[in-house]
């Protein structure tokens, strides 16, 4: 915990230091006050994502480094404070305009209330008391695992793959600073995944985030500071999503069209704000619960193995999107250990682009293989290389792209044929309104009872876990508890 506090202090000081034109790191193992007094800036062992990917020592990967242009953006309040619940920083007129447009569009249902509260320490807690979970008027996943909105003009959540015998491969909470061995493994196994990156982690570990894209995975947002989203105000929800998309754009160069709520905590209010930002809500059908391993969590390694085995056992019955994490060494190793069994049972282990046949997850000119192409060895085209991908400091680089402007992004799945669908519409003029009509994506509604009780249980378990731990592997996120 103390080391953690020092890391936070260190970042704060490092951010206020003089910029130089190269990426800097501190020597590993020096997240101590003492290191602050000694030469703390050293040339990085790497000057770009390709070089960084070669660093094997986890401590060296997790040594703080600095991309001066990014530091400048953080210092000049073009992003919210790292690890704090996001809000629109004063003076960000661009964000204010987007937020105003979303409010004016009327897409946010007024009758959906904020759930629970956020305490003085920045911890969010949901409160199920007083909410009619069986009627579930807000389609609140934490109460009922509802995934099909009760309000108009909001697309349903995506949680299964369309093709039979398919495992939808997803990893949350990255970029983990020390994920090189894990990403090497994915590369060696020729696996592509959908990575749900936390905004705070992206701006703290930008070279690691760039590797995710360069390696051919696809990137979705996982909020700025990883809080229970239904407990936040409309503007906070907006800012948590907006600045994560903005971080992804400036750091990796792509405009994402998907996000996943931390703890699955989403209702129609939160979905609507995400939809206004052109972000499709992605959940899961099966949960490994890997993050919850002892000693920090509640579950034994055997229990997590069993969770995996159970999902593995469903291979010929369903095609789940599966929740797994890159949050720490254990979860990354656990996937590597279980993968041979996953592979033996499931014919296809695919990222969500292939799982949903979304070939244009970003507005930029990058095309991902659809399902058929992927399983026959197809690769994404238009990706930057590890030695050419660059941080983009242009303040106007990030623009929200509404569902109707997305050619074949995640907002496209299930979009009704009347709603300016490029497949059927001859008009190529993009609509600026976030309002398009959606029909349900073709999902396999074989939801089990055990899935039904998991929402609230998962969330309260997760929050207890976080409160008890005081910090997680999410860099600097819970330091307000120190
Ligand atoms: C969206 O479109 C529907 C149907 O055209 C309309 O009734 C509704 O008011 C619109 N909502 C917004 C947010 O524009
Ligand atoms: C959907 O569920 C049914 C019944 O469990 C199963 O037979 C079918 O293969 C499933 N389809 C997919 C795509 O998983
Ligand atoms: C990455 O994993 C390591 C090893 O478990 C952990 O100590 C660290 O906090 C994680 N970092 C991030 C940014 O998630
Ligand atoms: C996905 O695209 C492939 C073409 O590669 C096609 O064969 C398949 O039917 C599509 N799947 C769905 C569920 O639309």
Residue found under tokens 């239904």: 230
What is the rounded average pLDDT of the residues 157-177?
Answer: 97
All CATH 3.20.20.370 domain ranges of the chain, comma separated, are 87-475
pLDDT band for position 118 (cuts 50, 70, 90) = low
What is the rounded average pLDDT of the residues 198-210?
Answer: 98
- Identify which ligand lies nearest to the alpha carbon of 272: 1
CA 267 to centroid of ligand 1, rounded, Å:
19
For ligand 2, atom 4, the nearest C-alpha belongs to 317
CA 187 to centroid of ligand 3, rounded, Å:
20
CA 372 to centroid of ligand 4, rounded, Å:
6
Q: What is the pLDDT of residue 413?
A: 81
- Identify which ligand lies nearest to the alpha carbon of 445: 2
Write out pLDDT tens, residues 391-403: 999 999 999 999 9
According to the CATH classification, is domain 87-475 in 3.40.50.2020? no
Q: In sequence order, what are the beta bridge partners of 166?
A: 348
What is the rounded average pLDDT of the residues 334-339?
Answer: 98
- Identify which ligand lies nearest to the alpha carbon of 431: 1
What is the rounded average pLDDT of the residues 342-346?
Answer: 98
Query: Per the residue annotation, which of 92, 172, 173, 289 is the catalytic one?
Result: 172
For ligand 3, atom 3, the nearest C-alpha belongs to 328
Q: What is the pLDDT of residue 412?
A: 83
Give the three-class secondary structure for 22. coil
Q: What is the pLDDT of residue 453?
A: 39
pLDDT band for position 242 (cuts 50, 70, 90) = very high
Query: What backbone phi and psi angles, to 5 degrees, belong to 63?
Result: -80, 135
- pTM confidence score: 0.82
For residue 107, which atom of ligand 1 is closest to its CA?
Answer: 13
Q: What is the pLDDT of residue 339?
A: 98
Write out pLDDT tens, residues 358-381: 999 999 999 999 999 999 999 999
Task: Tell me which of 107, 151, 152 to substitute to probe ligand 1's pocket, judged by most ligand atoms within 8 Å of the beta carbon.
Answer: 152
CA 108 to centroid of ligand 4, rounded, Å:
33
Query: Per the residue annotation, which of 123, 179, 222, 325 is the catalytic one?
Result: 325
Mean pLDDT taken over the chain: 82
What radius of gyration, in Å, describes the C-alpha atoms of the chain? 21
250 touches 393 (CB < 8 A)? yes
What is the rounded average pLDDT of the residues 128-151?
Answer: 95
Catalytic-residue membership of 132: no
Q: What is the pLDDT of residue 126?
A: 85
For residue 372, which atom of ligand 4 is closest to its CA?
Answer: 5
- Identify which ligand lies nearest to the alpha carbon of 153: 1
CA 318 to centroid of ligand 2, rounded, Å:
5
Q: What is the pLDDT of residue 341?
A: 98
Write out pLDDT tens, residues 273-330: 999 999 999 999 999 999 999 998 999 999 999 999 999 999 999 999 999 999 999 9
Query: Does the pLDDT of residue 6 top 90, yes or no?
Result: no
Query: Does the pLDDT of residue 138 top 50, yes or no?
Result: yes
Is 444 near ligand 2, meaning CB less than 6 Å away? yes
Q: Which of 57-71, 108-122, 124-138, 439-453 has the lowest mean pLDDT?
A: 439-453
Task: Tell me which of 1, 172, 176 to substitute to probe ligand 3's pocket, judged by most ligand atoms within 8 Å of the beta carbon.
Answer: 176
Q: Which residues line ligand 1 (CB under 6 A)?
A: 105-107, 153, 435
Q: What is the pLDDT of residue 456?
A: 58
Q: Which residues line ligand 4 (CB under 6 A)?
A: 162-163, 357, 370-373
Rounded CA-CA distance 311/319 in Å is 10
Q: What is the pLDDT of residue 127?
A: 83
CA 6 from chain centre, in angstroms, equals: 26
H helices of 106-194, in order, are: 141-144, 180-188
Q: What is the pLDDT of residue 472?
A: 34
Write out pLDDT tens, residues 9-41: 233 223 222 222 334 443 333 333 323 333 333
Secondary structure (DSSP) of 122-143: S-EE---TT--TTT-TT--HHH
Catalytic-residue membership of 172: yes
Rounded CA-CA distance 78/162 in Å is 39
For residue 163, which atom of ligand 4 is closest to its CA?
Answer: 13
Q: What is the pLDDT of residue 276?
A: 97
CA 157 to centroid of ligand 2, rounded, Å:
18
For residue 105, which atom of ligand 1 is closest to its CA?
Answer: 13
Q: What is the pLDDT of residue 458?
A: 54
Write b or e for each residue in 381-417: b if 16 or more Cβ atoms lie within 10 A of its Cβ, otherwise e: eebbebeebebeeeeeebebbbbbbbebbbbbbbbee
Query: Does the pLDDT of residue 175 top 60, yes or no?
Result: yes
Q: Which residues line ligand 3 (CB under 6 A)?
A: 176-178, 201, 327-329, 473-475
- Identify which ligand lies nearest to the alpha carbon of 108: 1
For residue 106, which atom of ligand 1 is closest to its CA?
Answer: 13
Q: In sequence order, what are the beta bridge partners of 322?
A: 169, 286
Counting residues of the chain whose pLDDT is more than 90, the rounded percentage is: 71
Q: What is the pLDDT of residue 281?
A: 98
Token pair of 228, please?
């229970």
For residue 205, which atom of ligand 3 is closest to its CA?
Answer: 13
Q: What is the pLDDT of residue 455?
A: 56
For ligand 4, atom 6, the nearest C-alpha belongs to 372
CA 425 to centroid of ligand 1, rounded, Å:
19
Q: What is the pLDDT of residue 468?
A: 37
352 touches 218 (CB < 8 A)? yes
């Amino acid at each position: 915990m103390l080391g953690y506090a020092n890391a936070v202090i260190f970042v704060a000081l490092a951010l206020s230091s003089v910029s130089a034109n190269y990426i800097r790191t501190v020597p590993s193992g020096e997240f101590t006050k003492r290191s602050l007094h000694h030469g703390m800036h050293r040339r990085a062992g790497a000057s770009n994502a390709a070089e960084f990917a070669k660093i094997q020592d986890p401590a060296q990967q997790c040594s703080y480094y600095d991309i001066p242009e990014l530091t400048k953006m953080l210092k000049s309040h073009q992003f919210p404070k790292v690890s704090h619940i996001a809000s629109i920083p004063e003076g960000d007129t661009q964000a204010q305009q987007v937020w105003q447009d979303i409010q004016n569009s009327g897409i946010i249902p007024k009758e959906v209330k904020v759930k629970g509260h956020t305490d003085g320490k920045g911890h969010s807690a949901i409160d199920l008391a007083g909410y009619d979970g069986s009627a579930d008027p807000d389609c609140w996943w934490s109460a009922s695992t509802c995934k099909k909105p009760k309000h108009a003009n909001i697309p349903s959540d995506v949680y299964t793959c369309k093709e039979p015998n398919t495992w939808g491969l997803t990893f949350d909470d990255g970029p983990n600073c020390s994920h090189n061995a894990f990403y090497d493994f994915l590369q060696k196994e020729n696996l592509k995944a959908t990575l749900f990156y936390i905004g705070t982690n992206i701006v703290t570990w930008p070279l690691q985030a760039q590797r995710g894209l360069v390696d051919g995975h696809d990137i979705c947002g996982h909020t700025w500071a990883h809080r229970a989203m239904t407990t936040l105000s409309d503007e906070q929800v907006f800012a948590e999503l907006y600045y994560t998309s903005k971080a992804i754009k400036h750091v990796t160069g792509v405009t994402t069209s998907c996000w996943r709520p931390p703890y699955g905590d989403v209702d129609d209010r939160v979905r609507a704000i995400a939809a206004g930002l052109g972000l499709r809500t992605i959940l899961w059908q099966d949960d490994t619960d890997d993050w919850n391993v002892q000693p920090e969590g509640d579950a034994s390694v055997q229990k997590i193995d069993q969770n995996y085995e159970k999902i593995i056992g469903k291979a010929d019955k369903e095609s789940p999107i599966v929740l797994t994490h890159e949050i720490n060494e254990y979860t990354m190793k656990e996937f590597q250990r279980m993968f041979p069994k996953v592979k033996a049972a499931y014919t296809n282990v695919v990222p969500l682009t292939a799982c949903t046949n979304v070939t244009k997850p970003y507005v930029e000119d990058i095309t991902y293989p659809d399902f058929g192409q992927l399983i026959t060895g197809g690769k994404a085209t238009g990706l930057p290389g590890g030695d050419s991908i660059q941080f983009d400091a242009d303040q106007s680089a990030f623009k929200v792209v509404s569902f109707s402007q997305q050619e074949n992004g995640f907002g496209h799945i299930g979009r009704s044929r009347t709603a300016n669908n490029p497949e059927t519409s001859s008009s190529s003029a993009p609509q600026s309104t976030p309002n398009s009509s959606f029909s349900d994506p073709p999902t396999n509604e074989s939801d089990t009872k055990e899935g039904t009780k998991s929402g609230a249980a998962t969330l309260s378990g997760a929050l207890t876990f976080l409160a008890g731990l005081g910090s997680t592997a999410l860099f600097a996120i819970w330091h307000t508890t120190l």
